Amino acid sequence: MPIPSSQPQRSQRRPLRRTTCYTPGGMTISKWTRIRFYIVGCALSLCLFGVGYRAYGLQVRNPDYYRDQADRQHLRTIEVPAPRGNIYDTNGVELAVNADVDSVFVNPRAIVDVTSASERLAEALDMDNRDLEARLASRRYFSWIKRHVTPEQAEKVRALDIPGVSLTREPRRFYPGKALAGHILGFAGIDGRGLDGLELTMDEVLTGRRAEVAALRDASGQMMVDDPEAIPSPGASITLTIDRTIQFAAERAVRDAVIENQAKSAVAVVMDIKTGDVLAIASYPELDPNDPSTARDAGARNRALTDSYEVGSVMKVFTIAGALEAGVVTPTTMINTEYGTYRMGRKVFRDSFHDASLDVGGVIKRSSNVGALKIGMMLGATRLHATLKTFGFGELTGIELPGEVPGVVHQPSTWGELGLATHSFGYGMTSTPLQVTAAMAAIGNGGIYNEPRIIKEVTDGGGRSLYARKHSGRRVLSEKTAKQMIPMLESVFEGGEQHGTARSLFVEGYHVGGKTGTAHKIDPATHKYGDHLYLSSFSGIAPSDDPRVAITVLIDEPHGEEHYGGKVAGPAWIRIVQETMAIIGAPADAELRAWQLEEKRKLDRRFAWRTGIDPDKIERERRKNEVALTSYEEAMNLVGDGAAVPAMADLSDEGEDLLVDDAPGSSAVEIPDFTGMGLAKALEVARKSGIQLELVGSGSAIDQSPPPGPTSSAGVVRVIFTDSDHAFAER
């Protein structure tokens, strides 16, 4: 029997709360520790689930998107620029080439001290510090600082040794001749794209195919190239018809003409008559493609084809050619030139000469406006218009240069009688110097017109020919008419009593033919022909007995003492012809040269008799200054200011102007008082009054005959001048 106890039985006790658990190894883990394990396990499970979900999104749901993002960050395609094709002249001389130059770039993220780096770079590269600091402060991996720096600037940047700033070599377009043929070549931009001239029109041909190289960028931004030997394909090279020596001669001639005559601009075009190849196009102000910005500010452009003008009397050549071709006149047909004055309604047309009548050749020789308009009226508006269009006026020539304008030739139905008259001698229509040269070349080529071209051949990087110029022409005149025109053009240089408008000019050892032109220009202020605005031109062929080249020279707005085409554009034309003949090797006529030199000596002796200047001094000065004389007057200019204008009246060139005035109410002529006037002023007053002058001496006018006052017929007014050293009076 159990003994009673004061302690309750175990089975009757309250169960104890278990606060520990046992692991299989005998370790005890508290409840809270176990709970923390559960929490960590859940968190890890969630993380692993998130990673799995993210991996699913990256690799299964949007793999292409994220693969592209990775490629953007790490993969790069580097373009290796292709060399741009060279441009050569007709003899293979380089006109445009490529040269590798340094360019400066930066990784802005690698710059430690932006302020210091920008200050040092700005000083080395001559840049604005604020702009440079903004570039260095960006968060990009690459930025250009300055491209195409000079070798001196590149050396300064290397010496700075700034982390993150590097240099790389880039091809740059370089023009060895500087401004030589600058208007023809144009220029390329900093990325090698053509922006003007041939660089623009032939950009697709000149531009090569760049090489693309795959590269991998690491976290620091360093590039690892996959194919370091990738080679780009160079652009095709172009050979021009331009002869750089003729181009240089033409550019020098027009530049000197602008300076001497205080002109606004000038143009010269030299063209091969047989082929249509353009040997030179000179335009002033000049353009240096290496630094085109300054020239652009001066208004430099290729005026030979971008500007069209009312060229004036040069167009008489084509009016008469059309009339001969149509059979309405012959070279010996006499034209009543009305003593140089012709009234049409309320308008009066005047000539510089007061001839009663001229044959057809004499109209060109004396540059008669009255004669030309009468021949134009005989031809008629429809046939004159057809003649002008046949010679290429009012149409693009198609030359491989940008900016060409066609000029303006209105339909004949809009001309009227006055329009027909003015078109006959070059007004009411516009043309470019290139068009005039091509038309003049057709006359020298026996009536065959060749379209002017400037590209001779295109070759690829391997030297294979991609294009070669094929010559083709079209007949615009019969051979008979073209041959009839040659003596007429030659007569412009003849002397004598009925002398031509260019009789003081000569090309030593060569027969040449041409036509002078002097045209009024519209004054922008009054919208009328300005008395002080002229366009002086000269166009012709050489040598005339076996035509090789056609040349046109145009001087815009001369403001010197002369404005006539024979005086202003003529010497430049002669100079270009003389040098071109030597360059192309055209044989000179020894007998003709001897005769020309003898004639010059005769004129020198006559000048010496009048002025007291030793003619041997002229020859000594010529040799001393190595001057190639282009006119008889130019010889006189060598001896000083006192002989700037010949003392002999028969040495002065007469010119041709458009003198269209309202018909006066009375036929009386008022002779001005020329006393005290200089040569230029006297000529200007005489031109306005419709009076022809005979000039004796130079300096200031001291006497005249007839005296000032009204007269029924002025005839020729003889004006006697004196300079500071000599006084001339009637003897």
Dist. CA 364–CA 387, nearest whole Å: 17
Q: Is the pLDDT of residue 508 over 80?
A: yes
Dist. CA 20–CA 438, nearest whole Å: 115
CB contact at 8 A, 373 and 421: yes
Mean pLDDT score, 370-390: 95
Mean pLDDT score, 256-270: 94
Q: Is the pLDDT of residue 283 over 60?
A: yes
* pLDDT at position 21: 55
Structure-token pair, residue 499 = 């002398």
* pLDDT at position 450: 95
546 confidence band (pLDDT: 50, 70, 90): very high
Q: Is the pLDDT of residue 699 over 50?
A: yes
Residue with token string 């993969």: 75
Written out in words, the top-level CATH class of the domain with range 244-288+304-643 is alpha beta
More confident: 293 or 288? 288
Q: At how many degrees (to 10) do helices 151-160 and 114-125 cross? A: 160
CB contact at 8 A, 250 and 576: yes
* pLDDT at position 9: 52
Q: What is the CA radius of gyration of the chain?
A: 42
- Ramachandran area for residue 192 (φ above 0: left; ψ -120 to 50: alpha; else beta): left
**Nearest to 646, CA basis, from 627, 635, 633:** 633
* pLDDT at position 654: 43
Mean pLDDT score, 494-516: 88
Q: How far apart are the first and last CA of the chain?
A: 191
Instruction: Dump the DSSP string for 470-491.
Output: ---EEESS-HHHHHHHHHHHHH
318-322, 461-465, 551-555: the lowest-pLDDT one = 461-465
Residue 410 CA: distances (Å) to CA of 393, 436, 527: 11, 17, 19
Dist. CA 162–CA 110, nearest whole Å: 10
Residues 177-231 have pLDDT tens digits of 999 999 999 988 877 788 889 999 999 899 877 655 555 666 555 555 555 555 6
Most confident of 62-66, 128-132, 623-627: 128-132
Q: Is the pLDDT of residue 71 over 70?
A: no
Q: Which residues are catalytic?
A: 313
Quick one: CATH architecture of 666-722?
A: 2-Layer Sandwich (3.30)
Written out in words, the top-level CATH class of the domain with range 78-240 is alpha beta
Residues 150-187 have pLDDT tens digits of 888 888 888 888 888 888 877 788 899 999 999 999 98
Residues 13-37 have pLDDT tens digits of 555 455 555 555 556 667 787 788 8
3-7, 403-407, 667-671: the lowest-pLDDT one = 3-7
Q: Which residues 6+ apart lie within 8 Å of 640 measured at CB?
A: none
Residues 650-681 have pLDDT tens digits of 333 444 554 444 433 334 567 888 887 877 67
* DSSP conformational letter for 60: I
Calculate the CA dihedral of residues 289, 293, 295, 299 and round it to 10 degrees.
Answer: 130
* pLDDT at position 625: 45
More confident: 256 or 707? 256
* pLDDT at position 136: 81
> What percent of the chain stands above pLDDT 90?
39
Dist. CA 608–CA 402, nearest whole Å: 52
* pLDDT at position 404: 93
Instruction: Dump the DSSP string for 277-339.
Output: BEEEEEEES---TTSHHHHHHTT---HHHH--B--GGGGHHHHHHHHHHHTS--TT-EEE-GG
Residues 435-489 have pLDDT tens digits of 999 999 999 999 999 999 999 999 987 788 888 888 789 999 999 999 999 999 9
Structure-token pair, residue 724 = 């500071």
Most confident of 23-27, 305-309, 613-617: 305-309
Most confident of 53-67, 72-86, 140-154, 244-258: 244-258
Could you give phi then psi for residue 707, rounded to 5 degrees? Answer: -70, 170
Burial class (CB in 10 A: 0-12, 13-18, 19+), 718: middle
40-54, 608-622, 628-642: the lowest-pLDDT one = 628-642
* pLDDT at position 79: 60
Cβ atoms < 10 Å from Cβ of 706: 13
